[in-house]
Structure 1
Amino acid sequence: MVDQRERVRDTITRYLRLCDVPRADGERGELAELFTDDVVWEGVGTTYADKFGATRGRQAVVDMVGSYLPPNPHFESNVHILGQGTIEVNGASAAGCWLMQQISHYRTGERELMVARLEVDFLLTPRRALISHFRTQRLTEAALPG
């Protein structure tokens, strides 16, 4: 039997890979498969609460996340690096907390390294862990040389 923590790690890793740029167009269907129907994707903290607010529902979250991904001209390149983190399993649900580094090269020419805290709740199903509540809080950033 697959460990539930491993399912959680697989889901969060897949989510971040699908948010990396460059990536193949047409992966929104794969992105949608990672969320519950009533998922909430939320920016928290002073920077991200204002920037992102809260988005509710699978299709709305896929559309919001997709608005930053190709073919939309936001990132030239973007990569997510996830720290070890912690995962707590409680019956049919799990909660994870990670530090994530994001290295971005924007279409504007700017480059930055950003660190955020991810706190994510999951619904555990027999096949996979689905994201039910995704919270991201920007902790620090630094401009990178071009």
Structure 2
Amino acid sequence: MTDVTDTLTRYLALCDVPARTTGDLADLFTEHAVWEGGGSAYAEKFGRTEGREAIVAMLSAYLPPSPHFRTNVHLLFPGTVDTDGRTARGSWPMQQLSRYESGDTEVMVARLDVTFRLDPDRARISAFRTERLFSAPLMGQR
């Protein structure tokens, strides 16, 4: 389903650093969306955030002008999507490569489980769950 993948790809691109803008993030979520971390590592780190405005505020804490990431890129791998015509549910593996402001680097793999509301103009995220599966420091220059 192209609309679903387009929305998720746009979301990840807006979360990359340096990003051009975060203003479009809000349009990717439904008004009452839920964003949560799953599994022991991410449930504690991210918890659960409810509502479009709260989600954008939480995500913005990791994005410029916040100094959290120096650079950050998300790579989305093929996943599965099921739809009933009004909603779609998908699951994707995602890799994230990060260089933090401290100079530390990390490679991380997570599973994204995402539910979308299929609006006439685009698929919007109504529930987003990320669970870290693997992470390790990257070796190399700081």
Q: Into which bin does the TM-score normalised by the smaller protein fall?
A: over 0.9
Question: Which structure 2 residues correspond to residues 63-142 of structure 1 after superposition, within 5 A?
Answer: 63-142=57-136
Question: Which structure 2 residues correspond to residues 1-80 of structure 1 after superposition, within 5 A?
Answer: 5-24=1-20, 27-80=21-74
Superposition RMSD in Å? 0.7
Q: Write the deviation string for residues 64-93 of structure 1: whole angstroms up to 9, x where unpaired.
A: 011000000000000000000011111200
SS in 2 for 1:132: strand
Runs of 4+ in 1 over 2 A off after TM superposition: none
Q: Write the deviation string for residues 28-84 of structure 1: whole angstroms up to 9, x where unpaired.
A: 320000000000000010000000000000000000011000000000000000000
How much does 1:142 deviate?
Answer: 1.2
Q: Which ranges of structure 1 fall in alignment gaps of 5 or more residues?
A: none
How much does 1:131 deviate?
Answer: 0.1
SS in 2 for 1:30: coil
What count of residue pairs does the alignment treat as equivalent? 140
How much does 1:23 deviate?
Answer: 1.3
SS in 1 for 2:23: helix
TM-score (norm 2): 0.97
TM-score (norm 1): 0.94
Q: Residue type matched to 1:46 in 2?
A: S
Q: Residue type matched to 2:16 in 1?
A: D
How much does 1:130 deviate?
Answer: 0.2
Q: Tell me the distance in 2 between the aligned counterparts of 1:104 and 1:135.
A: 20
